[in-house]
Structure 1
Amino acid sequence: MSLDVNISEPDEFNCTELHSCIENVARINSLNDFTYHVEFACGKGENFIANVFRVEITDTEDCERKISVIIKTLVNTTRQELFRELHKREVKAYEEVISKFQILQSKLDVIDRIVLPGCILSDMKRGNEVLILEDLVSKGYEYDSKVNKLQNLEYEQVCLVLKSLAKFHALSVVYELNDKENFTKLKIEFKDVLYQETFLDKSKLRNYYTNCYEDSIKLLDDLDARTKLQNVDTKLMDLLRYYTSPRTFNVLCHGDCWVNNFLFKQKVRR
């Protein structure tokens, strides 16, 4: 195998760690002799916790045989130990939740399913935290140019996002109806982490949440509504903790629903 690195900051590319992972992905896909190309899957600073790479693996003898994957590794910071818990949660979400959702969706028509990337490989060992996902871009999905330019999404796109979230939440309900015992375990295992005092202090995200809330209020034209919401400011974290605690009806939430995590697929015009 050989390596073609196409990233501006090669220090971010942990060769020993990622070479081994990519070799495993190739082996899974019966590629013995291959080359691969690496690039950042998102801009610098767009991901707070992880480095996200796109890797294209190509068969040396048949260049038409290609596999594209997304590889996430923890950012090396002083708060890495804290972020390890988030990495472990994400791995468990793919291995224990998304995999279950895919099984549940197999009974639905394709048009009624939500598109979820599959987990190819993962590792939770300290110092070797890796998550490898299938690359949906290779299946025709793409980032909208408006996302990179921080422009508004179209009404149709917003509707698609909301419909996808509704399907995602509905799968939790179906999961609970079909396997209440395991879903009850998930409710305990996936309890809120982000809004707890320890995480807020160690991650230094407390001000970030508050600033986001205040910026959102400024967008309101209704002065009465703005005043009421401003009064909530001091209780924001308590409210977030309250609404993320288990209830009679529970769904697993995405947790990071913003424009850089959206991919769209254009309709084929006939």
Structure 2
Amino acid sequence: MSVETEFTPPPWINDKFLETAFQSGEDNNLIVRCKYIKPATASGDNYLSQMYRVHVQITRRGKQEDKSIIVKTVPFTEAMLKITSNGQMFVKEMTMYRDVLPAMHRALEKVSPGTCERFGAEYIYSITDSDKPVIVLEDLKKLGFTMAERLNGLDMDHCLLVLRSLARFHAISLALREENPNMFQKFSTTIFCEEMRSDLETFFTVNIAKLAQEVENWAGYERFATKLHKLSENAMGIWINSVAMNEGDFNVLSHGDLWLNNIMFRYSEETGKVEDVRFVDYQLCYWTSPTVDLLYFLNSSPEINISENYDAFLGDYHKTLGKTLTILGYGTLAPTLKQLTGELEKRGAFGAVAGVSVRVVVQVDRKNIPDMDKVLKEGQSVHFSNEYKEAMKKLLPFYEQRGWL
């Protein structure tokens, strides 16, 4: 039975709601009618929200226009709902889409007119002062953007495109903060803190401990069992300490959840090569070292045969970061490559935790999508796909070599 057959649209996404959404940003002399609603993501593609793709017909001054939008609201599961509520995630994301991302685009357009793409979907409407917050956005799929296949990970071209866009995102955030510090007041806290430890820790401990048991039966990998058991015991503390902002570091606005499923790509119709990128899910943005985003992405999302190219990736990121800061007039704020490398190595154990625990969700197969309520509340581990096991056989020796494990 197909997803569409089983799906029942939420009754509150109706003509009245949609008309209110569109009239909030335009004149009120328009009529909006809902044509149909579908789930916007497949199972396993998103855990911190429910997303719907809504096709509408807009009548304005006698002319009709069909449009596709994304309506995003809170998750169904109790554990994830508690996390999103306590972390003020929808308020943060609304602020990103409504205020911060447009300001970023304007800043780049000012210094380099007509050459800069946006970092995310355009904002249409939001409700954040209720027990069921909602954000309405343009549909990036209608602009040609799609998600990459996650089981095998991203190749070099995809990774470089992501890192260059991330460098521009980080650079512009720093420039905007210099000009208007109040813009980023909502991003001084993160869910990865001691107050939220009990809600989050099980995910890390259970899955890393399960991997420790698994490697005991892998010939030549038995030595990693003890190291992984220790990592399991310390994982949440490592994560909390690593994402914390240190005043002495080079700090920017981090995306906070930059894994493969929160990135969409557009491909050339002529060559089929990847040519553009957009980030989605700005719920975990937080002011901290850019190496948090770098380690999170580089350990969770690339193909395993390129995931250890840290020096090349970091060098390319650093070059784009410095160039963007210079164009914006803040070149003196750029860190040296040595400083950036030092901050990354200081958080190396965080990279190992991300590689072991986040990649298990990235590479889970469609037949074994985890129930996050059971993972977080009951300690149920995520199923290990063959792709994940192969990734660990490559990454564990690499983490050991770098002293991260």
TM normalised by structure 2 equals 0.53
Please tell me whether residue 126 in structure 1 is matched to residue 130 in structure 2: yes
Please tell me whether residue 198 in structure 1 is matched to residue 202 in structure 2: no
Which segments of 5 or more consecutive residues in structure 1 lack a partner in the other structure?
1-5
Instruction: After superposition, give the CA deviation of every residue in 1:73-101 in whole Å (9 maximum; x if it has no partner).
Output: 11244343542222222222223322321
1:40 positional shift: 0.6
Indicate the residue corresponding to 2:101 in structure 1: 98
Instruction: After superposition, give the CA deviation of every residue in 1:122-173 in whole Å (9 maximum; x if it has no partner).
Output: 10122331011111111121223x23xx223222112212222112111112
Q: Which amino acid aligns with 1:72?
A: K
Please tell me whether residue 86 in structure 1 is matched to residue 84 in structure 2: no
C-alpha distance 138-109 of structure 1, shift in aligned 2 (>3 A) = same
Contact residue 41 and residue 54 of structure 1 kept, 8 A: yes
C-alpha distance 36-92 of structure 1, shift in aligned 2 (>3 A) = same
C-alpha distance 113-210 of structure 1, shift in aligned 2 (>3 A) = farther
* In structure 2, C-alpha distance between the alignment counterparts of 1:109 and 1:51, rounded to whole Å: 36
Please tell me whether residue 115 in structure 1 is matched to residue 119 in structure 2: yes
SS in 2 for 1:15: coil
Instruction: After superposition, give the CA deviation of every residue in 1:92-112 in whole Å (9 maximum; x if it has no partner).
Output: 222332232122122234444
Which segments of 5 or more consecutive residues in structure 2 lack a partner in the other structure?
272-405
SS in 2 for 1:239: helix
* In structure 1, C-alpha distance between the alignment counterparts of 2:223 and 2:13, rounded to whole Å: 55
1:36 positional shift: 2.1
* In structure 1, C-alpha distance between the alignment counterparts of 2:154 and 2:6, rounded to whole Å: 30
Indicate the residue corresponding to 2:69 in structure 1: 69
C-alpha distance 110-267 of structure 1, shift in aligned 2 (>3 A) = farther
* In structure 1, C-alpha distance between the alignment counterparts of 2:19 and 2:177, rounded to whole Å: 38
Contact residue 17 and residue 128 of structure 1 kept, 8 A: no
C-alpha distance 215-131 of structure 1, shift in aligned 2 (>3 A) = farther
SS in 1 for 2:261: helix
Indicate the residue corresponding to 1:8 in structure 2: 6
Instruction: After superposition, give the CA deviation of every residue in 1:42-82 in whole Å (9 maximum; x if it has no partner).
Output: 0135322311011111247866x221111111124434354
- Aligned length in residues: 252
C-alpha distance 96-16 of structure 1, shift in aligned 2 (>3 A) = same
Contact residue 192 and residue 244 of structure 1 kept, 8 A: no
Instruction: After superposition, give the CA deviation of every residue in 1:10-39 in whole Å (9 maximum; x if it has no partner).
Output: 1xx331255433222444566425342211
Indicate the residue corresponding to 2:202 in structure 1: 207
* In structure 2, C-alpha distance between the alignment counterparts of 1:52 and 1:102, rounded to whole Å: 25
* In structure 2, C-alpha distance between the alignment counterparts of 1:26 and 1:45, rounded to whole Å: 30
* In structure 2, C-alpha distance between the alignment counterparts of 1:230 and 1:66, rounded to whole Å: 54
Identity of aligned residues (%): 23
TM normalised by structure 1 equals 0.76
